[in-house]
Amino acid sequence: MRTARNRACRDLSAHFVRAFFSTELRAWYGAEPLGKVFWGYGVFASAVLALLYLLAINEQRVGAQQALLIVMLAYTVWILVSIWRCAAGSEWGGLARGLTIAWAGNTILVLTFLQMDLIVTYIGR
C-alpha cells in the first residue's frame, strides 16, 4: 500500500513538473517557434541571469554566485540544444545556430573565469 501511494505521489509530481515546464520541454524537443526561444529564452532570460549574478556580486553573496554559476551552466546546455533543435527548417536557423554556438562558447569562458574568481575568494577566506 505504501508503495502504491509513493508511486501515485511520484506520478503526480512528474505530471506537475511536465505541466509547469511544458513550454521549456517543447523547446528542448524543437517544437517551439525559433524567435520565441532565441529572443525570449536565449536573450532575455540570459540577461536576467546576468543581472542576478551582478546583484550577487554587488551584495558579496558568494553562495548565491556559486549557485547562479551552476544554474547558468545548466541553462547554457538547455538553450543551446533548444535553439539548435528549434532552428531546424527555419529561415533564420543557420544564423541562430551560429550565434548560439558563439554565445555558448563565450558563456563557457565567462563561467570558467567567474568560477576561478570564486575559488580565489574561497581560498582568501
Burial class (CB in 10 A: 0-12, 13-18, 19+), 62: middle
Span 114-125, mean pLDDT?
Answer: 88
- For residue 125, pLDDT beyond 80: no
Per-domain boundaries in the chain? 22-124
pLDDT at 5: 75
Q: What is the mean pLDDT of residues 99-118?
A: 92
